[in-house]
Homo-oligomer: A and B are copies of this chain.
Amino acid sequence: MTDSPVGTRIRTAAVIGVGTIGLGWAALFASAGLTVRINSRRPDAEAHVRKAFELYAASLPGGPADPAGLAARLEFEPDVARAVEGADVVQENAPEDLALKQDLFARIGAAAPAHALLLSSTSTLLPDALGARMADPGRLLVAHPFNPPHIVPLVEIVTGERTDPRAVEETVAFYRGLGKTPVVLRRAVPGFVANRLQSALLRESIHLVREGVVSVAELDEIVTSSIGGRWAAVGPFRAFHLGGGPGGLRHWFEHLGAGLEKSWQGLGNPPVDEETVARILAQAEEAFGGRTYEELAAERDAKQTRVIAAAGTDADAGTDAGPAQRA
């Protein structure tokens, strides 16, 4: 812990790839005062990143920033070995292609400083597979953000057989310093945690629309006006703990536990066939079709930023024996 902008030794971050996720990380790192080295082979990489920063600068954890000030912290290096040279952290955001990422991490591992944290934004691959071609994958971790990474606090940290525990600790400190909420999974599971939960909700959402219970727009309205606010404020277990009254979760299980398995049997498992997709797309067109992607995305970002601030997610992090204590 020294005088680095994020409270760790980290001063220079290499961001590999400038898709949506890479751009979000770049904006966040720059807003925290890091030097950000962008690695992309796109000839228009600089213009592309600058354009994205015009949008992203409005929704940063520290409040709106000056896009030009953020861009001033950028360096551009199309060669990956030179991009990670001297970097304290490398955030990789290449396409979800195992062979491609294995090759990338072999080259990153050979060129990055020994102390650098090597972090992959992958949502599907595991550290042991990603590092298969590295001499020492001890400092390679999955650090999976939730889109957009400059707005949503969560970073799911997944370790491998050969991960160095000190690298986990440093990774958690790094993201906490950036105002994120890193959670270290106790073991790896396909899809990690947040996307599995999201998938479970989507399955039932598609089922209910398919069955004609509600429309796409009505389902969204139900979620934003009920469980969304509840889960932004308290997670599912705390919600049911309080749902049990003064007797808490124990009382809740005693009274509703027996009915749980039965109620799960009644949940849907819809086919994602042509008819189902057509129905959803027609209703989505009716609901969102009149507005552009940019309008809708800007509205989502502004709302979500307000919600996150209101929930005070970061202020409370760690209260309940979170991963900072554990790592």
Contact = CB atoms under 8 A, between A and B. Distances in A.
Contacts of A253: 272, 277, 280-281
A64 B189 CA distance: 45
A245 B202 contact: no
A201 interface: yes
A215 interface: yes
Contacts of A198: 227, 236
Interface size bracket, A side: 35 or more
Contacts of A303: 232-234, 310-312
Contacts of A153: 225-226, 229
B189 A288 contact: no
> How many chain copies?
2
A248 B288 contact: yes
A221 interface: yes
A161 interface: no
Contacts of A231: 201, 223-224, 227-228, 231-232
A204 B187 CA distance: 16
Q: Is the interface of A mostly helix, strand, loop or mixed?
A: helix
B197 A243 contact: no
A306 interface: yes
Contact of A224 (B212, B235, B271, B277): B235
A191 B286 contact: no
B229 A287 contact: no
B237 A284 contact: yes
B181 A288 contact: no
A269 interface: yes
A301 to B, nearest CB: 9
A264 B66 CA distance: 43
Interface string A191-203: 1011011111111
Interface string A230-272: 1111111111111101101110010001101101101101011
Residue with the highest number of chain B CB atoms closer than 10 Å, among A228, A260, A267: A228
Given A193-B219, A236-B219, A284-B241, A267 B152 contact: no
A318 to B, nearest CB: 9
B267 A199 contact: yes
Interface stretch (A39-47, A102-110, A319-327): A319-327
Contact of A284 (B203, B224, B249, B322): B249
A308 interface: yes
A168 interface: no
